[in-house]
Amino acid sequence: MTQTEQKTINGAEILVEALIRQGAEAIFAYPGGASMPLHQALTFRSDVLRTILPRHEQGGAFAAQGYARATGKVGLCMATSGPGATNLVTGLADAKMDSVPIIAITGQVPQAVIGTDAFQETPIVEVCRAITKHHYMITRFEDIPRIVKEAYYVATTGRPGPVLIDFPKNLQLQTRLGHPDYDPPMNLPGYRPIRARSVHADQIREILRELRRSRRPILYVGGGVIHADAAEELTRFALRADLPVAMTVMGLGAFPASHPNSLHMLGMHGTVYSNYAIDAADLILALGVRFDDRVTGKLSEFARHARIVHVDVDPSEIHKNKFAHVALVANVREVLQALNALITDEDVPDTAAWWSQIREWKSQFPLGWKDAGDQILPQYAISELHRQTRDSDFFLTVGVGQHQMWAAQFYGFDKPRRWFSSSGLGTMGFGLPAAMGVQVAFPQATVVDVDGDGSFLMNVQELATLHCEKIPVKILLLNNQHLGMVVQWEDRFHEGNRAHTYLGPIDHPEAVGEGTGEMREETYPNFVQIAQGFGVAARQVRRKQDFPDALAEMLAYPGPYLLEAVCPYQEHVLPMIPGGKTVRDIIVE
């Protein structure tokens, strides 16, 4: 292009173009004074990059996460300076904990007034320093393309995570003639996430030697396996060596739940058999996991009899909580590929006795629930959801609480990237906006947010986004009128004293635990009316006999839909290993 043909473009347009060159197709962005030039620029490229207006920046951050978790690609969100930026903070902290590659772009006040407490100024880079993988404030106009390129690289390589780009308004408005180079060299000294030939055959043989010598081996797999798209290789390896597989909340779907080798979820609310098996194992192959306290309970007691092989892409996870006898810093998919290539029949240990023990535990302690007449138990509702959706293109998100754990226990995920839960941070309000992001990535799929009444209210405003942006997310609201998970802890550890865990009016006897316990009365708030007010179809069901048809009606509905199931609050999520305790303290009944 000659000089005369070149158009003047500004910094905001350069940033938007740079995102598009990285493959961006959707951004969840809420405007304000310091980000208006960016929004103007987004309108010029709406043919390739869809801008979705969430109704709260936190919703935007979680939608970006839903998009990223479902696709493995970068999720994008944007906010203005000050309150817009601080509204993203929880979503960023959440993405850091669960290793989700999102990029958050924030408008910032003009450079000339930074540090003066200018209107809507917050030092968002400082605020987010410890909860992002990396963070930028753009300080030079010519750095814009390099910073966007680096942000994508940092977010998606090694252990994925969130990156913040803070963008002062004067640089958004600064102009130049024609496009800059969008593929400049990066400048990331010290960041070497991809080691050349990180997996050596010797290391793989060392792992296989451990396997060969073991009698009670187990695979303990987590989100790292999903993030590395290693589920297929994992399944191949588990079946080749006939190993039992226990999964973390983040790892569900890495190995098919319906396969007999699955021990399902591990940890505080995991299955008895997976926790017993980890406790009795003599070899733990820990892949893409971080020995989180919700898995280990009391660390000194966890897996006392086992040798531990730990594979993780992040060197800071190795020996962090638990010493690993064999440690390998590497991409877990490459490790599994190498294991599958090198394993021989001699490496497969004799596990006949081990398997007969595990089968005994499985038949002795199956996951289940006691039916409760015509009441809709959450466990039942989730099993029915599974029955009606298992053969479809289906994704499930959750809030945080009992409903989340029951979904983890009873849905039975057979594939990776189908189940999305705020796991490390445990953020109520995750479910609805995350579902929105998943649905934007997969418009034809069925996306259901299984939510709790407390969690749902935390981002209820996103119902407006569903309606206005025509995003057909379904919500299965398990309304127990309580902060159920906290109620459960009150019941177990505080003699059932109710301390602000009832979600109806405070003069209701149930607020102090003195109600009849019946769920036959009016529920509060009126979720059906709320949904309808936002233009979202809705229905309440109270009787089990009505549930299957009501669910089928929702799943068949073309637009967004809320199905509120009124559930009893007296149920507890079991099994349960109380925090800091051991498998010997497991509560089964």
Stretch that binds Mg ion, among 244-252, 312-320, 446-454, 559-567 (CB under 5 A): 446-454
Interface positions, 448-467, toward ligand TPP (CB under 6 A): 452-455
**Nearest distance in Å: CB 483, Mg ion:** 6
Stretch that binds Mg ion, among 243-251, 266-274, 303-311, 484-492 (CB under 5 A): 484-492
Specify whether 167 is catalytic.
Answer: no
Query: Which one among 399, 433, 437, 575 touches ligand TPP, defined by CB under 6 A?
Result: 399
Query: Measured from the CB atom, is 101 or 454 closer to ligand TPP?
Result: 454
Stretch that binds Mg ion, among 142-150, 311-319, 407-415, 450-458 (CB under 5 A): 450-458
Choosing from 73, 169, 322, 362, which is the catalytic residue? Answer: 169
Query: Measured from the CB atom, is 15 or 93 closer to ligand TPP?
Result: 93
Selection from ligand TPP, Mg ion, none that 426 binds (CB < 5 to 8 A by kind) is ligand TPP
Interface positions, 479-498, toward ligand TPP (CB under 6 A): 480, 482-486
Specify whether 320 is catalytic.
Answer: no
168 binds ligand TPP (CB under 6 A): no
Query: Measured from the CB atom, is 222 or 454 closer to ligand TPP?
Result: 454
* Rounded-to-integer distance, Cα 551 and Cα 376, Å: 12
The beta-strand segments (E) located in 89-132 are 102-108
- Omega of the bond prior to 575 within 30 degrees of 0, cis? yes
Query: Measured from the CB atom, is 311 or 435 closer to ligand TPP?
Result: 435
* Rounded-to-integer distance, Cα 213 and Cα 216, Å: 10
Instruction: Answer for the pair 312, 224: CB distance below 8 angstroms, yes or no.
Output: yes
Contacts of 325 (CB under 8 A, 6+ apart): 210, 307, 308, 309
87 binds ligand TPP (CB under 6 A): no
Closest alpha carbon to 182 in 156, 157, 150, 140: 150
List 10's β-bridge partners, or say none: 175
Which residue carries 């739940």 as its tokens?
A: 257
Choosing from 13, 22, 28, 57, which is the catalytic residue? Answer: 57
Choosing from 44, 119, 323, 493, which is the catalytic residue? Answer: 119
* Rounded-to-integer distance, Cα 514 and Cα 446, Å: 40
264 binds ligand TPP (CB under 6 A): no
Closest alpha carbon to 242 in 341, 347, 334, 326: 347
**Nearest distance in Å: CB 572, Mg ion:** 13
Query: Measured from the CB atom, is 39 or 403 closer to Mg ion?
Result: 403
Q: Rounded to the nearest 10 degrees, what angle do helices 402-410 and 378-389 cross at?
A: 40
Backbone angles phi, psi at 571, to 5 degrees: -70, 145
Stretch that binds ligand TPP, among 246-254, 365-373, 400-408, 438-446 (CB under 6 A): 400-408
Query: Measured from the CB atom, is 32 or 452 closer to Mg ion?
Result: 452
Q: b/e string for 81-107 if b means 16 or more Cβ within 10 A?
A: bbebbbbbbbbbbbbbbbbbbbbbbbb
Choosing from 25, 40, 111, 120, which is the catalytic residue? Answer: 120
Residue count at the site for ligand TPP (CB under 6 A)?
Answer: 19
Element containing residue 234 per DSSP (H, E): helix 231-240
The Cα angle at residue 447 between residues 375 and 539, in degrees rounded to 5: 40
As given in the structure block, the two tokens for residue 484 are 């159920």
Selection from ligand TPP, Mg ion, none that 290 binds (CB < 5 to 8 A by kind) is none
Three-class SS state of 286: strand
**Nearest distance in Å: CB 565, ligand TPP:** 11
Three-class SS state of 485: helix
User: What is 148-186 written as a DSSP string?
Assistant: HHHHHHHHHSSS---EEEEEEHHHHH-EEES---SSPPP
Closest alpha carbon to 95 in 65, 57, 59, 135: 65
Stretch that binds ligand TPP, among 17-25, 27-35, 43-51, 476-484 (CB under 6 A): 476-484
Backbone angles phi, psi at 509, to 5 degrees: -55, -30
Query: Which one among 13, 453, 564, 571 touches Mg ion, defined by CB under 5 A?
Result: 453
Choosing from 268, 405, 485, 576, which is the catalytic residue? Answer: 485
Query: Which one among 72, 184, 426, 515 touches ligand TPP, defined by CB under 6 A?
Result: 426
**Nearest distance in Å: CB 457, ligand TPP:** 8
523 binds ligand TPP (CB under 6 A): no
484 binds Mg ion (CB under 5 A): yes
Specify whether 57 is catalytic.
Answer: yes
Three-class SS state of 523: coil
Specify whether 186 is catalytic.
Answer: no
Closest alpha carbon to 519 in 468, 575, 478: 478
Stretch that binds Mg ion, among 93-101, 114-122, 298-306, 475-483 (CB under 5 A): 475-483
Specify whether 322 is catalytic.
Answer: no
Amino acid at 254: A
Residues engaged in binding Mg ion (CB under 5 A): 452-454, 480, 484
Residues engaged in binding ligand TPP (CB under 6 A): 399-403, 426-428, 452-455, 478, 480, 482-486
Q: Which residues are identified as catalytic?
A: 57, 119-120, 169, 485
